[in-house]
Amino acid sequence: MDDLDDMAHLLGDPLVMEHYPRPKDRREAAEWISWNLRNYAEHGHGLWIIESHGGEFIGDCGLTWQTVDQSPALEVGYHVKTSAQRLGYATEAATACRDYASSHVLAVRIVSIIHLDAPTFTALRVRGVQLHARPPGHAAPGQRRQRRGDASSRVAAPSSRAAVPTKTPAGVGPDRHADPP
């Protein structure tokens, strides 16, 4: 688990994990990586590690199955380390993942659960994402998701643009790992 140190630091950061019940410890970060590997084995996709062009660990982003409105939906989710937030990494990675899922028809329903004050919210809307009210009881403030603030969340449905994530899947191959329940 070459990426355990990076993921433990990321998932242990209280600001990154602000909308989860609590930050994760090293053991839970290892479980997160194992969960992501199972996602790849079962579904063929999961989270990718985000790195800068210089190879610096930034966070993770990818596709995982969630239950939204009592129905399965493919979620574009991400975590970005505090020092790299508000630099466009989440928007670029989330848009590429969303477009990859759309162009490969991985799901009929693709969502992203984010808070209204997340910079990504506005950026994804500008890029053609339809925004819908947060499903009751899903990703409410203090539960899970990686954005600051106590505003309501929104679920974002994709546009039909096509792009492909360029990073190796997290936890697959010699590169990097990533994200669990």
Q: Please state, in angstroms and rounded to a whole number, the distance separating the CA atoms of residues 146 and 159.
A: 22
* pLDDT per residue as tens digits for the range 90-124: 888 888 888 888 888 777 777 777 666 666 666 66
* pLDDT per residue as tens digits for the range 150-180: 223 333 333 332 222 333 333 332 233 333 4
Reported confidence tier of residue 139, pLDDT bands at 50, 70, 90? very low
CA angle 40, 65, 139 (to 5 degrees): 135
pLDDT attached to residue 132? 43
pTM of the model: 0.68
Per-chain mean pLDDT for the chain: 71
Question: 16 pLDDT exceeds 50?
Answer: yes
Q: Please state, in angstroms and rounded to a whole number, the distance separating the CA atoms of residues 4 and 9.
A: 8
CA 176 to chain centre: 15
pLDDT attached to residue 79? 93
Domain coordinates of the chain in residue numbers? Answer: 4-157
Tokens found for residue 48 = 């990718």
Q: Please state, in angstroms and rounded to a whole number, the distance separating the CA atoms of residues 112 and 61.
A: 11
Q: Please state, in angstroms and rounded to a whole number, the distance separating the CA atoms of residues 133 and 143.
A: 17
Reported confidence tier of residue 129, pLDDT bands at 50, 70, 90? low
Reported confidence tier of residue 11, pLDDT bands at 50, 70, 90? very high
**Range with the poorest average pLDDT among 4-8, 17-21, 43-47, 48-52:** 17-21
pLDDT attached to residue 76? 86
How far separated are the first and last CA of the chain, in Å rounded? 19
Which CATH number is 4-157's, of 3.90.1010.10, 3.40.50.150, 3.40.630.30, 3.40.640.10? 3.40.630.30
CA 103 vs CA 22, 60, 96, 106, 180: distances in Å:
35, 21, 10, 8, 25
Q: Please state, in angstroms and rounded to a whole number, the distance separating the CA atoms of residues 100 and 134.
A: 23
Contact between 146 and 19 (Cβ < 8 Å): yes
Q: Helix crossing, 26-43 with 4-12: angle to 10°?
A: 110
Tokens found for residue 20 = 């989860």
To the nearest 10°, the Cα dihedral for 77, 79, 85, 91? -20
pLDDT attached to residue 124? 60
Helices (H) and strands (E) in the chain, counts: 4, 7
